[in-house]
Amino acid sequence: IPAVVGCGDATERMKDGEKVTVSCAEGDTGYVYADMLDFSVKSSSVDTMPELPLKVMMNVGNPDRAFDFACLPNEGVGLARLEFIINRMIGVHPRALLEFDDQDAALQNDIREMMKGFDSPREFYVGRLTEGIATLGAAFYPKRVIVRLSDFKSNEYANLVGGERYEPHEENPMLGFRGAGRYVAESFRDCFALECEAVKRVRNDMGLTNVEIMIPFVRTVDQAKAVIEELAPGA
């Protein structure tokens, strides 16, 4: 049964008994058409689909959909953004978690509510990252799953719980404090270490060695070398 939500004043404009056609077959946006429209249904079996002449890797951000997408013909995941996991499964700025004891009582209470079931703020962050990355890796194993480490812009990090306390205001965040440059900055280095710990658990402890990492927004060769040095202890 199709359902469309967030329709504005549609329920006021439509009258009881009025015939309409509700369609959820056109992407993320649902449509409500006047009258009863004719439609056709075309079904395809994945088992009978021909092999593609090229290898197609998927973009998958949501671990909850990973096993669904893995049922489709694919050659693995070419891009899995860590931001989706941080936004949906964590929602707290990593620095606010590392400095949990320094936060005011109201923020501490908010964070405690979000991290129920975890022993510490640090374990909450690493554990959730591990869970999300491992789900992606397991769904497509043994095919490659390339996980791009965090690439939030400063304004996006500021939107996380506690984030406004730690993020600068930038006129152009798109070219600002993000990606590889953030990883090696003193103010973020130990936050980046949490991401590295999660990847290490996924590969070394869980055996999902099909998970690989991508470093985003590398601006110079020296920056790339510095990130590699940060990664080395967990390698």
pLDDT score of 235 = 58
Contacts 24+ apart (CB under 8 A), 104-113: 107/161, 107/162, 110/161, 111/161, 111/162
pLDDT score of 234 = 64
Q: Which residues contact 225 (CB under 8 A, 6 or more apart)?
A: none
pLDDT score of 30 = 87
Please say if the pLDDT value at position 3 is more than 90. no
CA angle 68, 79, 96 (to 5 degrees): 100
Mean pLDDT, residues 46-58:
82
Among 77, 87, 58, residue whose Cα is nearest residue 208: 77
pLDDT score of 59 = 94
Q: Are strands 20-23 and 31-34 parallel, antiparallel or unpaired?
A: antiparallel
| Cα radius of gyration rounded to whole Å, the chain | 22
pLDDT score of 6 = 84
31-50 as b/e, with b when 16 or more CB fall inside 10 Å? eeeeeeeeeeeeeeeeeeee
Please say if the pLDDT value at position 52 is more than 80. no
Please say if the pLDDT value at position 87 is more than 80. yes
Question: All domains of the chain, ordered by start, with CATH?
Answer: 1-41 (no CATH), 43-234 (3.20.20.60)
Please say if the pLDDT value at position 26 is more than 80. no
- CA dist., res. 208 & res. 131, Å (int): 12
User: What pLDDT, in 10s, does the model give residues 102-130?
Assistant: 999 999 999 999 999 999 999 999 999 99
Please give the structure tokens belonging to residue 143: 């095919």
Please give the structure tokens belonging to residue 112: 């405690």
Q: What is the pTM for the complete model shown?
A: 0.79
pLDDT score of 28 = 73
122, amino acid identity: R
Lowest mean pLDDT among 20-24, 101-105, 108-112, 146-150: 20-24
pLDDT score of 29 = 84
pLDDT band at 218 (very low <50, low <70, confident <90, very high): very high
* Number of residues that this document lists for the chain: 235
